[in-house]
A and B are shown apart, each in its own frame.
Chain A
Amino acid sequence: MTIKKFSKLVAALCMTLCVSTTTRAGNDQPPDADTLINKSIEAAGGKEAMLAIKSMSLKGTISMPAQKISGTVEVLRKADKSLLLAEIPGIGQIRSGIDGDIAYEHSDIMGSRLLSDDEKEKLLDGMDPQSQINHFNDLKDKTVIGPEQVGDNMAWVLSGITKKNDKETHWIDTKTFLTLKSDMSITVQMGKMRGVSEMSDYKTVDKITMPMTIKQTVGPASVVLEFTEVKINPEIDDAKFTLPDEVKKLVEQAKAAKTSTSQPATQAAP
């Protein structure tokens, strides 16, 4: 669920994508897609543990090692609220969040904007504790091939078509059934791009097993997220999700514009 949430931030920091994998023929027969998905969900903690997540917080670092750029990142999630906050020296603060119906981005570089319905839907989807389950199950025309080598591990290759008709591929470890790599489409305001995420350093926190390191490559640039602190169901003060003032003004303007367009047009005098 975190990978999708970070994709927009990463896509905003870099731009396109490049993928390379070493394919090696194996003698093992791949499992069918549903079996593989179920095992993957179990490996990540299982449906019950995922449904038990009511709030979550992650802290760590975000970096573009090749460009010598690094900073901190924090993610908070609670009920219908979420916040992603990155502080990168030389770039400033990047803030993206949801508070009920309002989804926004606010940064030192770009200023503020309210997200489109489509962008909001994706963010909300990423907040759902069952997002990984739903996401895998929503794939159409699922196929599994492999195994293929991903780094030092062998992985089954699960491919399918998303609800938005984008091809998506996930490399799932043949032994642990944890996702090692994903190749998926990311849509941001700047356009649609493909991003490759490589997950490693899995750790279990309160029955949820998740990668502590995610490397996302979008086009020529790669961004690395390394989490140092993960909390499941922590107490999170609502004040943390308070909208920035500029975003509040945009919300008021959007409401006013909606009200004025919903007024019946004045009848012209004969």
Chain B
Amino acid sequence: MKKTAWLLLISLTLAGCRSSMPDTRRELNLASFDQIWKTVQDKHYDPTLGGLDWNAVRDELRPKVASARTDDEARAVMRQMLARLKLSHFEIYEADKKIEPTPGTGFVPALASTEVIERVQFGNLPELPLRCHSEMLKSNVQYFYVSFFINPPKVLGLFRKAIEQARDADGFILDLRHNPGGIGGMAMGIGNAFITKPNQKLGEMIQREMTFGFALNPQATPYTKPLAILIDEGSASTSEILAGGLQDVGRARIFGTRSAGMALPSLIDQLPNGDTFQYAVANYISAGGQTLEGHGVIPDEAVEYKPPYSAPDPVIAAAVKWIKTQKEQSK
């Protein structure tokens, strides 16, 4: 009886030690780990990685990927490696996983349609639900909301229509609350519509060997009336580049709460195991010289709007009030 119990215990222990993952899958996860490690080593904008001993991180964590029993475990180790960098825009997206707002907690501006106008699949990004809403408010202020900076032909097409509708309005409200970003160039495309002077920029991307300006170019018929941009803690990346840049060049007044402070330009590559890997390739400094990463954009007027986000929206109200004041002052 005693012998049987020992044998059972040994077999259970062995079963516990044995990984349930096929060798081919393990190899793919190890290859993914190696690709991530090397990409960071070769392409991180700071070659010192903030003083982090990257070789030691590999030596510590690679064996854990080798012994992972499931893809989730292997992925968790890879995320652990990236977390050591303590920066935004280093993320692993699970293959075929869609991004959905969590029911009940997803932000929907009080004025905006809750309807997803399109599900966008772009490059290696996960499928994203695009919401966009344009409306002339009763106060004669044009309102425009976008949930992600994706699908430029569609989003910028709707945005340019909103600009045309706003010609006779008193001002423009651009709602970037809970917009986590997207295609960086769209910040310039939108910013271009609001400026009149040449040689301005939203900020600079600083890479290992060179620096690039997010250049702005005045369009043929720029929008010159007051511009209010709404942000909150869910506004990140391209949203912060746009809001922070236009704030710094003195073109927009920012309303809401401090943004996420996650503003590193990045690329997304495919991994051997089918997941995708997002990695920052540059630091970002706004036109005013502020590092947005870890700091965020600070609103000119702090206004909170908390769940359950019931109307009336106090942030929109503050923006409208300011626009009306601007109109009065210009008389």
Q: Which residues of chain A have a CB within 8 Å of any CB of chain B? A: 15-18, 64, 66-69, 90-93, 107-113, 189-194, 219-221, 246, 249-250, 253
Q: Which of A16, A64, A92, A190 contacts B209 (CB 8 A)?
A: A16
Q: Report yes or no: B217 in contact with A219, Cβ–Cβ below 8 A.
A: no
Q: Report yes or no: A109 in contact with B209, Cβ–Cβ below 8 A.
A: no
Q: Which of A109, A221, A249 contacts B185 (CB 8 A)?
A: A109
Q: How many A-B pairs with Cβ below 8 Å?
A: 105
Query: How far is A64 from B213 in the complex, measured between Cα atoms in Å?
Result: 22
Query: How far is A18 from B209 in the complex, measured between Cα atoms in Å?
Result: 9
Q: Report yes or no: B153 in contact with A67, Cβ–Cβ below 8 A.
A: no
Q: Report yes or no: B282 in contact with A67, Cβ–Cβ below 8 A.
A: no
Q: Give, as a whole number of angstroms, the nearest-CB distance from A115 to chain B.
A: 10
Residues of chain A with a CB closer than 8 A to B112's CB: none
Q: Report yes or no: B123 in contact with A67, Cβ–Cβ below 8 A.
A: yes
Listed stretches B26-34, B53-61, B171-179, B186-194; interface member: B186-194
The 7 closest A-B pairs by CB, nearest first: A249-B220, A90-B122, A92-B153, A113-B217, A190-B212, A191-B212, A220-B43
Query: How far is A113 from B219 in the complex, measured between Cα atoms in Å?
Result: 7
A-B contact pairs, 11 of them (CB 8 A): A15-B281, A16-B209, A67-B124, A67-B269, A93-B153, A108-B189, A111-B192, A111-B193, A112-B217, A220-B207, A249-B220
The yes or no answer to B224 lying at the interface (CB within 8 A) is: no
Q: Which of A64, A68, A108, A110 contacts B153 (CB 8 A)?
A: A108
Residues of chain A with a CB closer than 8 A to B193's CB: 111
Q: How many residues of B contact A (CB 8 A)?
A: 41
Query: How far is A14 from B91 in the complex, measured between Cα atoms in Å?
Result: 20
Query: How far is A261 from B123 in the complex, measured between Cα atoms in Å?
Result: 47
Q: Which of B121, B210, B265 contacts A191 (CB 8 A)?
A: B210
Query: How far is A221 from B43 in the complex, measured between Cα atoms in Å?
Result: 10
Q: Give, as a whole number of angstroms, the nearest-CB distance from B107 to chain A.
A: 25
Q: Report yes or no: A108 in contact with B156, Cβ–Cβ below 8 A.
A: yes
Residues of chain A with a CB closer than 8 A to B211's CB: 191
Q: Give residues 187-219 of B contacting A (CB, 8 Å).
A: 188-189, 192-193, 205, 207-215, 217, 219
Q: Which of A15, A16, A90, A190 contacts B120 (CB 8 A)?
A: A90
Residues of chain A with a CB closer than 8 A to B281's CB: 15-16, 219-221
Q: Report yes or no: B207 in contact with A15, Cβ–Cβ below 8 A.
A: yes
Q: Report yes or no: B150 in contact with A193, Cβ–Cβ below 8 A.
A: no
Residues of chain B with a CB closer than 8 A to A90's CB: 120-123, 150-152
Q: Report yes or no: B220 in contact with A246, Cβ–Cβ below 8 A.
A: yes
Query: How far is A9 from B269 in the complex, measured between Cα atoms in Å?
Result: 21
Most buried by A among B120, B124, B152, B215: B152
The yes or no answer to B267 lying at the interface (CB within 8 A) is: yes
Q: Give, as a whole number of angstroms, the nearest-CB distance from A166 to chain B.
A: 13
As a 0/1 sequence over residues 103 to 121 of chain B, the CB contacts with chain A under 8 angstroms (1 = contact) are: 0000000000000000011
Q: Report yes or no: A253 in contact with B152, Cβ–Cβ below 8 A.
A: no
Residues of chain A with a CB closer than 8 A to B219's CB: 111-112, 246, 250
Query: How far is A229 from B153 in the complex, measured between Cα atoms in Å?
Result: 27
Most buried by B among A191, A219, A250: A219
As a 0/1 sequence over residues 263 to 303 of chain B, the CB contacts with chain A under 8 angstroms (1 = contact) are: 00101111000000000011000000000000000000000
B205 — nearest CB in chain A belongs to which residue? A15
Known contacts A66-B269, A67-B268, A110 near B185 by CB under 8 Å: yes
Q: Which of A93, A107, A192, A250 contacts B210 (CB 8 A)?
A: A192
Query: How far is A89 from B167 in the complex, measured between Cα atoms in Å?
Result: 31
Known contacts A91-B183, A246-B219, A246-B220, A108 near B267 by CB under 8 Å: no
Q: Give, as a whole number of angstroms, the nearest-CB distance from B242 to chain A.
A: 13
Q: Give residues 201-248 of B contacting A (CB, 8 Å).
A: 205, 207-215, 217, 219-221
Besides the contacts A91-B183, A111-B192, what 17 more A-B pairs have beta carbons closer than 8 Å?
A15-B205, A16-B207, A17-B209, A17-B210, A66-B269, A67-B267, A91-B152, A92-B156, A109-B152, A111-B189, A112-B219, A112-B220, A189-B215, A190-B212, A219-B43, A219-B209, A221-B267
Query: How far is A193 from B211 in the complex, measured between Cα atoms in Å?
Result: 8
Q: Report yes or no: B217 in contact with A110, Cβ–Cβ below 8 A.
A: yes
Q: Which of B188, B213, B267 contacts A110 (CB 8 A)?
A: B188
B122 — nearest CB in chain A belongs to which residue? A90
A219 — nearest CB in chain B belongs to which residue? B207
B207 — nearest CB in chain A belongs to which residue? A16
B214 — nearest CB in chain A belongs to which residue? A190
Q: Report yes or no: A69 in contact with B123, Cβ–Cβ below 8 A.
A: yes
Query: How far is A93 from B154 in the complex, measured between Cα atoms in Å?
Result: 12
The yes or no answer to B168 lying at the interface (CB within 8 A) is: no
Most buried by A among B157, B207, B220: B220
Query: How far is A110 from B202 in the complex, measured between Cα atoms in Å?
Result: 13
Q: Report yes or no: B267 in contact with A220, Cβ–Cβ below 8 A.
A: yes
Q: Give, as a whole number of angstroms, the nearest-CB distance from B124 to chain A.
A: 5
Q: Which of A108, A110, A190 contacts B192 (CB 8 A)?
A: A110
Residues of chain B with a CB closer than 8 A to A91's CB: 152, 183
Query: How far is A66 from B267 in the complex, measured between Cα atoms in Å?
Result: 9
Residues of chain B with a CB closer than 8 A to A189's CB: 213, 215, 217
Residues of chain A with a CB closer than 8 A to B151's CB: 90
The yes or no answer to B304 lying at the interface (CB within 8 A) is: no
Q: Report yes or no: A110 in contact with B189, Cβ–Cβ below 8 A.
A: yes
